[in-house]
Structure 1
Amino acid sequence: MMIADTQDLPAQARAALAHWPELARRAGLRGAPAAVQVLIHRDQPGTRRAVLALRADGQALILKAAAEPWQPDHFDGCLDAMTAAGVATGGGAPRVLARVAGGQAALLERVAGRSLEQMMEAAEGPQDMRRLFRRGAEWLGRFQRATAAAPVAFDPAGMIARHERLRAAVRAGELPVEEPARFLALSDRFGAVAARAAGHEVAQSAAHGDLHPGNILIGEGRAAWAIDFNPSRVIWTGQDIADYALSFALRFVAPNRQPEGGWLPEPERRAFARGHGADPMAGPVAEALILAAALRRWQRIAGREGTGAERLEALMRVAGRACPGLWT
């Protein structure tokens, strides 16, 4: 959506542009914003934000601002994590050029990349899709190697206890979830697998925190960037791997290719391993973490209509194939 006159912009986009004078001053820019394009616009209670592409002083820029939810520490933490990732990877995340401290507005460089999700939607067959999946895995492997922390023994006690409380709340009707019997079966499977995985050595690194094909941009050659980080923390590397692999399996693996007893078809597993340097599904820790990722997604599905129904159907199909006998 390209806007010629900023007066024609939707409300949250105009609110975002109101931050331009301060952001431009902090970034050392003098020109007025031009060629304003609305990339994201949300304007409903609890979610009011906009992401704009624009040009000024010959530079391609991204302006992002959020009015709700009002969480300035979280907003700034996300920017800090992206900056740290860019430094660690030698440019694997866009640079933050300016921000309004505590104001939930920032100006970023616009990199010459295209969303991996969009590229996957236009993929020409399984081989092209695997090539793209590998490109995302390459970025993740690079990021995790650059931010690696000392390995530790896998200790899922906190996760297991949290899921015990969730199961109790679902059984008591205090926590509504779609298809509660199936949710409980998947949660039971997670508890059993996580308990078996306890004590295994697991690698650690900084987290992206919400890694999926929509948050990876692909450029020319081997150029790639990640966007929309969560605030930085050290996690088990398998957590970002699980998020990326599961999001791919749910959106881009055809139902007739979903393997019995696995989350990804073998060719896709090999493509990930070649790109990243590790097999995403190897070992009980990986299995526990992808089960945990599936349960988090299940909790976020708020209704059975529209996209919620489609997401739940895909999640149940993939989990049911990956865990034979789960629903019986």
Structure 2
Amino acid sequence: MLRTITAGLDGSSESRAAAEWAAREAKLRGLPLKLVHVWEPVPEPLAQAPLLGPETHQHWTERIPREAAEGLRLRHPGVEVTTEQLAGRASDVLVAAAKDAELLVLGSRGLSGIGGFLVGSVGLAVVAHAERPVVLVRAWEQAADEHDMDPAGIPSAATPFLPVVLGLDTESPDETLIEFAFDTAVRRATSLRIVHGWNPPPYHGLPTDPQPRESLARREAAALAEALRRWRQKFPDLQVVEESRNESPAVAVVAASRAASLVVVGRRIRRSPVGAHIGSVTHAVLHHAAAPVAVVPHD
């Protein structure tokens, strides 16, 4: 079954930025784009108000996806764009929509002056429960932001893509996550920067500690190299940069995001329907990365 690139759309600036990013990704992958417009039923007392009557509500719910699709078709010729309107709780509807998607793309408000995301409750709920990759895109994200500088020092969509950054835990290096990052870098014809942050154990540095910091650093770097050895062989033409850093994993990945076209992190799937299971590192990256973030669920 041919999957789609699916974008959640509600008419906000962040959802429009997500739709633009999704259209570019659809073209890279040779897939159709579906815009999913979710509206939650208006409570009965409000529905009776003159300005919120059924005709007015229907007009706006139909106009938002129609106009968005028309603009995307003009700006991204060759990409098949369809729309779908669904009613219900936004997070539940989007999680369901993700099941038939190659990627689900959502918008996220940027934090002015901090350089990160403001991930709302809907976005966090979708990331926590979707079983397909979810990409969060900032409201002001532009195509040029994903690319390197041109000779004049200005980012341009005509210049090469910035690297894809993968945050990797060497204690449980999941193949689904790694393959997604490698494949994404290949599609962008760019390099893959793999960042592994680690902290010494609590006892490290005590007089009784038999392992100096240098030895620990070598061990962590060797673990990273071993986790990637088969993937380097599978993608021999891809430039891969490995970084094993003695610092918080979240800090290391957020720092690397400042020169990235996309940041890729993982989320372990938990079957419990209660609570948002995202993980502390992924949660921090979602809120503070300076590039779009792809969260890849895995067992």
Taking structure 1 as the reference length, what is the TM-score of the superposition? 0.24
More contact order relative to length (CA 8 Å, sep ≥ 6):
2
Question: Greater strand share, 1 or 2?
Answer: 2
Taking structure 2 as the reference length, what is the TM-score of the superposition? 0.25
